[in-house]
């Protein structure tokens, strides 16, 4: 079969978004998927994909094989800033390059976002498994891929400045949003996701006494090494095990967790505004 070469870019969730939707494209087009995984100096990742995940597809590192002659698949011009691609007419090997978030078949323009989301989720769950090495690291730090939580709070590093351009959201404001959701769903088990110990601690102090069981992510650094990559993967999966997620601003990370976990998603869009949104819309599937 012809091959669809996928080179997702940037950090963890952006890469997994691109990979998951290209898996779906490959199945719809009857193509073999080949993952091109950049790592090493100058990359967000210091670790090969095969150290982090077990995939049901071929993986090459850093660049295309020198004997491969392919063409870059170009976007179809459609309304909105979406990545639609037409199936090649002659069965050529093709290449999807760069930061694509989710990639769609041109025929998806008339499809239901919820249906597309479920297809992408199913392809990802079917084709990508966390490696035993990553599971061992996460378990050694007290994490679990099986524990379920009522509410996950994703405090993105620098979230107090990341809500929107020029917006600054204080810890007390985030706590107020948490209280509003807690009054609605009555969470007993809370998971706090974030790589800033200072921000996590401030939030913990703000909600003390408001939940019976609180777990804080062990992922505390963006440094590119196997340990931090493994803890970030564990954090993403634990966030996906929450029934609902509270996120700060526009973050791919918690949106993708909500997609793969079928979680309700609440987004702080300004220091005074909290909205419930479909995760597929925030992840790029709002067709």
Phi-psi region of 111 (alpha: psi -120 to 50; beta: other; left: phi over 0): beta
Q: What span, in angstroms and rounded, lies between the C-alpha atoms of 46 and 72?
A: 26
Average pLDDT, the chain: 84
In contact, 268 and 170? CB cutoff 8 Å: no
Has this prediction a pTM greater than 0.85? yes
Give me the pLDDT at residue 5, please: 92
Give me the pLDDT at residue 238, please: 96
Cβ neighbours for 222, distance < 8 A, ≥ 6 positions apart = 157, 195, 228
Give me the pLDDT at residue 71, please: 67
Question: Regarding predicted confidence, which is higher, 78 or 286?
Answer: 78
* Residue 275 dihedral angles phi and psi, to the nearest 5°: -130, 150
Q: What span, in angstroms and rounded, lies between the C-alpha atoms of 283 and 102?
A: 7
Q: Where are the domains of the chain?
A: 3-130, 133-285
DSSP sequence for 40-66: STTSS-SS-HHHHEEESSEEEESS--T
Confidence grade of residue 162 (pLDDT, cut at 50, 70, 90):
very low
Give me the pLDDT at residue 169, please: 72
Q: What span, in angstroms and rounded, lies between the C-alpha atoms of 143 and 262?
A: 20
Give me the mean pLDDT over the 172-183 stretch: 88
Question: Regarding predicted confidence, which is higher, 2 or 195?
Answer: 2
* Residue that the structure tokens 């976990």 belong to: 261
DSSP sequence for 218-281: S------SHHHHHHHHHHHHHHHTEEEEEEESS-HHHHHHHHHHT-EEEEEEETTEEEEE-HHI
Give me the pLDDT at residue 19, please: 94
- Taking the alpha carbons of 190, 191, 197, 203 in that order, is the dihedral positive or negative? negative
Asked if 3-130 and 133-285 have one fold, the answer is yes
Q: Tokens representing 41?
A: 């100096």
Q: Which of 59-68, 171-180, 240-249 has the lowest mean pLDDT?
A: 59-68
**133-285: what CATH class?**
alpha beta
Give me the pLDDT at residue 78, please: 55
Q: What span, in angstroms and rounded, lies between the C-alpha atoms of 18 and 101?
A: 5
Confidence grade of residue 168 (pLDDT, cut at 50, 70, 90):
low
CATH of the domain spanning 3-130: 3.40.50
Give me the mean pLDDT over the 109-136 stretch: 90
β-strand partners of 213: 189
Confidence grade of residue 261 (pLDDT, cut at 50, 70, 90):
very high
Q: What span, in angstroms and rounded, lies between the C-alpha atoms of 38 and 225?
A: 14
């Amino acid at each position: 079969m012809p091959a669809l070469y996928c080179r997702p870019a940037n950090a963890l969730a952006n890469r997994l978004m691109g990979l998951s939707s290209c898996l779906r494209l490959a199945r719809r087009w009857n193509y073999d998927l080949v993952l091109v995984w950049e790592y090493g100096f100058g990359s967000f990742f210091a670790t090969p994909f095969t150290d982090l995940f077990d995939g049901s597809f071929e993986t090459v590192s850093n660049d295309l094989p020198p004997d491969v002659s392919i063409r870059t698949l170009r976007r179809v011009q459609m309304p909105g800033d979406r990545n639609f691609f037409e199936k090649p007419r002659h069965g050529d090997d093709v290449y999807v390059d760069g930061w694509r978030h989710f990639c769609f078949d041109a025929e998806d323009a008339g499809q239901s976002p919820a249906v597309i989301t479920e297809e992408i989720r199913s392809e990802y769950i079917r084709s990508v498994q966390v490696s035993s090495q990553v599971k061992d690291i996460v378990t050694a730090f007290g994490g679990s891929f099986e524990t379920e939580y009522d509410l996950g709070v994703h405090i993105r590093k620098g979230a107090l400045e990341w809500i929107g351009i020029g917006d600054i959201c204080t810890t007390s404001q985030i706590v107020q949003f948490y209280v509003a959701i807690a009054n609605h769903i009555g969470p007993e088990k809370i998971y706090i996701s974030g790589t800033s110990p200072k921000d996590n601690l401030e939030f913990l102090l703000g909600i003390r006494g408001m939940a019976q069981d609180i777990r804080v992510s062990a992922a505390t650094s963006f440094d590119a090494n196997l340990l931090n990559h493994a803890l970030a993967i564990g954090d993403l999966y634990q966030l996906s095990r929450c029934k609902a997620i509270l996120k700060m601003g526009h973050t791919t990370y918690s949106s993708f967790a909500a997609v793969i976990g079928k979680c309700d998603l609440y987004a702080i869009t300004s220091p005074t505004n909290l909205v419930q949104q479909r995760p597929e819309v925030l992840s790029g599937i709002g067709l």
